[in-house]
Structure 1
Amino acid sequence: MRYQSGKWLLTTFLIGALAACAPAAPAAPTAAPAAPTAAPEPTAAPTAAPAEPTATMAPAAPAMSGKIKIATQSPLSGPQAALGTGIRNGADLGLQDMGKMLTDMGFEVELAPFDDQAKPEVGAANAKNIASDPDILCIVGHLNSGVALASLPTYKDNSLAMVSPANTNPKITESGYQNAFRVVGRDDVQGAVGEEFARTEMQIKSVYIIHDKTDYGQGVAEFFRQQAEKNGIQVLGFEGTEEKSNFESILTPIQAANPDLIYFGGIYDQAGPLFRQARDRGITAKFLGPDGLDSPELLKLAGDAVKGMYYTSVAAPVSQFPDAAKFAEDYKAKFNEDAPPFSAQAYDAMGICIRAIAQAAEKAGGKPSREQVVQAIRDAGEYKGITGAYTFNAKGDPVTSTYFVLQVSDKDGEPGEVWNANAVVKKLDIPAP
C-alpha cells in the first residue's frame, strides 16, 4: 500500500468521538499475577536524601548545588518489560546526553528508575515512594495509561511533573491535572485513525472488537467502536478479557460471527496468543490494533499469524525520525539491542524535564521546588526533540501529534529484524482535540 503523509482532519471523529472523552474503565489491572513481585516497595527504591549540614559544622552550600533526581516509572519486569525497559533506557540516554545542563550549574544528577510492573497498584505504591524523596523533581512515565492514572493523584498532591512518552488515554490530560504532560497523541484520535483506515483502505464491513479491560485497551477499543458504528461498520461483538493464554471462550463466538476484522485493544503479550489461536482455529478475519502491539514480541508470540497485519501507532519505528539516528546508534551500542518504540519519546520526555529544571533553577537562583518545575514546563515554548517539536496546550497535550499506520513485514528472519522492516503506510499530523 502506498505511503501517505500530511494533515488529516478526521471531521467525522471530531464531532462524535469527543462526546465521551474517555470511557469508564475498571480499576483492575490487565492481568495481575497472584501477588506483585515488589509491592508496595518499588524494585529500585530511591536512596535516602542526604542529611542537611549543620550550620555550625560547615559553611553554607553554594546556591547551585545538591542532588537532583529524575524518576522513571514503567514495567521493568513481567510480560510488558520489552517496552517498559525501553522507556527507562531512553530516559537514561537522555540524562547522559543532556544532564550536563544541570551538572554545569553545580548540581549532581541521577536517574531513579521504578518498576511499575504494568500494574496500577504497584505504580501507585511507587508514586508514594517517589513523592517521599525530595530530590526527585520530575517523572518520565508511564507505559500504561491505567498505571499513570493510578499514580497521578499522588503526583498532583506533591506537585510532581509527569512527562509521559507513551500514555494515550484522554483522561491523562482531560482530568484537570496541571502537572501531567505527554509527547504522544491520544486514543480518541488513534481509535478514529484505525477505524477510518479499516473502512476506507481495508474495505472492512464488519468487526468483532476485543479489549484487555484496561484504561488503555478498553479506551482505544471504545473509540474505535464509536466511529465504526457511526460510519456503518457492523460491530458484531464487543468483549473484554483478562485471559492471557487460552482464548477459546472468546474465539468460539468470533468464529460463529465470521467478521471481516478482529480489532484488539491492548498490549502485544495478550494479542499475540489471541491472534495465533485465531489462525489455528481457521479464523480468516484480518487483524488490526493500536500501538500496544508495536513490539517484535508480538512476532515471537504470534509468528506468521500477524505477518501482513496493520496496526496504528503514536510512536512508530525510530527510523522514521531523522533526528533520532544518533540516538538509535547510541542505544544499540549501550544496550546491545535496537531501540524499541517509545524509547526515543522517553529521551525527549527526559529532555523536557531537564530543560524545565534548569530554567526553574536559574529563575530561583538555586535548586528549584517541584512547583517551579511544573510551572517551567507550562511556561516553556517549543521543545525541539529527536522525535519532533513539542509545544503543550493548556491541557498538557502536544498542540499537534503524529499518528502512523504500519504493516507488519512478511519477510523471514529474527523477530527484531522483521519488525524493523515494518512499513509505514500512512502518516498523519493531527491537531489535539
Structure 2
Amino acid sequence: MRRNKLRVTGAVVVSTALVLGAAACGGDDKSGGSGDELTIGFMGDLTGENSGIVIPPSQGAQLAVDQYNATNPKVKIKIKKYDSQGKGEQAVPLAKQAITKDKVVAMIGPAFSGESAQVGPVLEEGKIPSVSPSATNAALGTKGWKFWHRIVGNDNAQGEGIGTFILNGLSAKKVFVINDQSEYGKPLAETVKATVTKGGATVTEDAIDPNGSDFSSAVNKAKAAKADAIFFGGYYAAGGKLIKQLREAGVKGRFLSGDGSLDKGLAKGAGGTTADGSAIGCPCLIDPTGTASPKSKTFAEQYKAKYNTDTAIYSAEGYDAATAFIEAIKAGNDTAEKINEYLSKIDVPGVSKQIKFTPQGEPAAADVYIYQVKGDTLPLLGKAAEAKIG
C-alpha cells in the first residue's frame, strides 16, 4: 500500500547527508532511550484521510511492545509515533528528527510507499533499521538498501494474486483498470493488467486524480467497455467516491481494489451498501475470529481486549514488525546496527506469517488474500488462488 505522488529527487538525498553529517550515524549510538530503555519509531498517516489503514498496524505494534514491557525485561522499549499523514514532505523531516533528536534505534514504517521511497535514503544514511508493515511498492525492494525491510508482500505478488482471482474466481473476460497515478496505485494496476491480459482477458484502462471529485471521464469509459470486472489501483478515500459514481452511471461490473481500499471507509464513501459485493485483495491476513491458527486466535483476542475492536488491515503485520525488533533486543542487541544485523538472520513465527527476510529485505513468504465488502464488514473469502465469490 502506499500513498503520495511526490517524486524522489536528488535533493532529498543531498539534504539527508547535510542533516545527518553532524549527527554521525544513528546506528552507532547506544541511545534511543535512557539506560535500560530503547526507542523505536512508528511512522505513518495517523490523522489524515487514509489513517484508517495505518492506525491498526500502529495499535498492533503498540500491543506487542506493551506485552514485552509487561514481562519486566532488562531493556524496555518505548514507541514514539510520527504522524506523517502519508506525505513525503512531512515524513522526511520527521525521520531526521527521529535520528538526530529522538535517537531511535529502529523504525516501524513508513506505512505508505511514496513516503517510504523518500524516507528510505534518510534511514539508510542514519543506519536505522526499518520494517514496514504495509508499504507494498515493488520497486522499494530494488534500491539496494541494507537497513530496509517489510513484513508484507509487495505489489507484484498482490497484483498477480488479484489478477488470478479476477480470471479464476470471477471468470472475467473484459476488465477495466483504473489507477490513481500514485507510486502505489499505478504499478499495482499495471501488474493486474499484465496478469489478466496474459490470462486472455480484454483490458481497457484509464486514470483518475484522487484529489478530484468528478471521475466522469473514467466512469464513461468503464461504461462503454461493458467490463465484467473493474479494478481500481488506489486508496479507499477515492475508491468509495469512484464506486458511487460508477453505480450512479449504471455500471454493473464487479468492483475490485487492492490493500489501499481494505477499510470500512470504502463503503462509507460509496454511500451505504453501494459497495456491497466489491472484492478487495491484500497481502495481509485479517482474521478477527482467529480461524487461521492458534497464534492468530490469541492475537485477535488480545487485540480486542486492549482496543475494544476487531483486528483490521495490517494490525497483525504491525504486531509482527514490532516483534522483529523485540526479538532482536531480547537477544541482547542494543544498537541500531546490531539490531539490523540480527534481522538478517531472524526466523521466528509471527501472527501473519513466519518472520524472516530475504537479503533484499522482502518477507520470505507472501500470501495474497481476498476480502468481500458486506455493509461495514470485510469478511475473508480465502487465498486469491482459491477464493470464489457469489
Q: 1:349 aligns with which of 321, 331, 335?
A: 321
Instruction: Tell me: CA distance 1:233–1:386, structure 2 relative to 1, closer, same or farther (3 Å).
Output: same
Amino acid at match of 2:337: E
What letter matches 2:380 in structure 1? A
The secondary structure found in structure 1 opposite 2:42 is: strand
Cα distance change on mapping 1:216 and 1:359 into 2, 3 Å: same
Does the alignment pair 1:315 with 2:284? yes
Q: CA deviation at 1:140?
A: 0.9
1:18 is aligned to none
Find runs of 4+ consecutive structure 1 residues off by over 4 angstroms. Answer: none
Deviation at 1:201, TM superposition (A): 2.4
- Alpha carbons 2:161, 2:384 under 8 Å: kept: no
Distance 2:211 2:177 in 1: 15
Structure 2: distance between partners of 1:227 and 1:325: 34
Q: 3-state SS of the aligned residue for 2:366?
A: strand
Structure whose alpha-carbon radius of gyration is higher: 1
For 1:98 and 1:300, the matched residues in 2 are separated by: 36
Counterparts of 1:178 and 1:358 in 2: how far apart (Å)? 22
2:66 aligned residue: 96
- The worse-fitting range, judged by mean Cα deviation, of 235-244 and 208-217 is 235-244
Deviation larger for 333-342 or 258-267? 333-342
| Equivalent pair of 1:318/1:341 in contact (CA under 8 Å) | no
Q: Are residue 426 (structure 1) and residue 383 (structure 2) matched?
A: yes
Alignment-derived partner of residue 338 in structure 2: 372
Matched residue type, 1:218 = K
Cα offset, 1:378, TM superposition: 0.9
**1-structure distance, mates of 2:173, 2:196:** 9
Q: Which runs of 5+ in 1 are unaligned?
A: 1-24, 30-48, 53-63, 362-367
Q: Which residue pairs with 2:305 in the alignment? A: 333
- Please report how far the alpha carbon of residue 392 of structure 1 lies from its aligned counterpart in structure 2 after TM superposition: 1.2
The Cα of 1:358 is off from its aligned counterpart by: 3.2
Amino acid aligned to 1:226: A
Once the two structures are overlaid, the 10-residue window that deviates more, 112-121 or 232-241, is: 232-241
Q: Structure 2 counterpart of 1:304, which letter?
A: T
| Residues in 2 aligned to 1:198 and 1:270: alpha-carbon distance in whole angstroms | 21
Q: Tell me which residue corresponds to 2:368.
A: 403
The one-letter code matched in structure 1 to 2:381 is V
Q: Which residue of 2 aligns with 1:46?
A: none
Query: Percent of aligned pairs with the same residue?
Result: 25
Kindly indicate whether residue 19 of structure 2 is the aligned counterpart of residue 27 of structure 1. no
Secondary structure of residue in 2 paired with 1:288? strand
* Shift in CA distance, 278/428, structure 1 to aligned 2, threshold 3 Å: closer
Taking a change above 3 Å as real, the CA distance of residues 171 and 334 of structure 1, as seen in their structure-2 partners, is same
Equivalent in the alignment of 2:219: 251
The residue aligned with 1:130 is 98
**CA-CA distance at 1:375 after TM superposition:** 0.9
Whole-Å separation in 2 of the counterparts to 1:65 and 1:285: 59
Distance 1:200 1:379, change over 3 A: closer
Which residue number corresponds to residue 109 of structure 1?
77
Q: Which amino acid aligns with 2:6?
A: A
CA apart distance, 1:87: 1.8
Classify the secondary structure of the residue corresponding to 1:305.
Answer: coil
State the Cα distance separating 1:143 from its structure 2 match: 2.4
Determine if contact 2:208/2:215 at 8 Å carries over to the other structure. no
The residue type equivalent to 2:383 in the other structure is K
Give the partner amino acid of 2:81.
P
Q: Does the C-alpha gap of structure 1 residues 316 and 391 become closer, same or farther in structure 2, counting only changes over 3 Å?
A: closer
For the 8 Å contact 2:162–2:384, the answer to whether it is kept is no
Q: What is the CA distance between 1:395 and its match in structure 2?
A: 0.9
> Of 268, 273, 282, which residue of structure 2 is paired with 1:304?
273
The CA RMSD measured in Å over matched residues stands at 2.4
Assess if the C-alpha contact under 8 Å between 2:142 and 2:360 holds in 1.
Answer: yes
> Cα gap change, 1:428/1:345 in structure 2, threshold over 3 Å: closer, same or farther?
farther
Q: Which moves more between the two structures, 301-310 or 285-294?
A: 301-310
- How far apart, CA to CA, are the structure 2 residues paired with 1:321 and 1:261? 29
Secondary structure of 1:168's aligned partner:
coil
Which TM-score applies when normalising by structure 2? 0.85
Residue 360 (structure 1) shift: 4.5
Is the 1:68–1:110 Cα contact (8 Å) retained in structure 2? yes
Cα offset, 1:28, TM superposition: 5.6
d(CA) in 1 for partners of 2:279, 2:232: 11
C-alpha displacement of 1:68: 0.8
1:76–1:116: 8 Å Cα contact kept in structure 2?
yes
TM-score normalized by structure 1?
A: 0.77
Q: Is the 8 A contact 1:142 1:148 kept in 2?
A: yes
User: Equivalent residues in 2 for 1:146-161 (5 A)?
Assistant: 146-161=114-129
- By how many angstroms is 1:428 displaced? 5.8
- The number of equivalent residue pairs is 356
Do 1:287 and 1:309's aligned partners in 2 also have CA atoms closer than 8 Å? yes
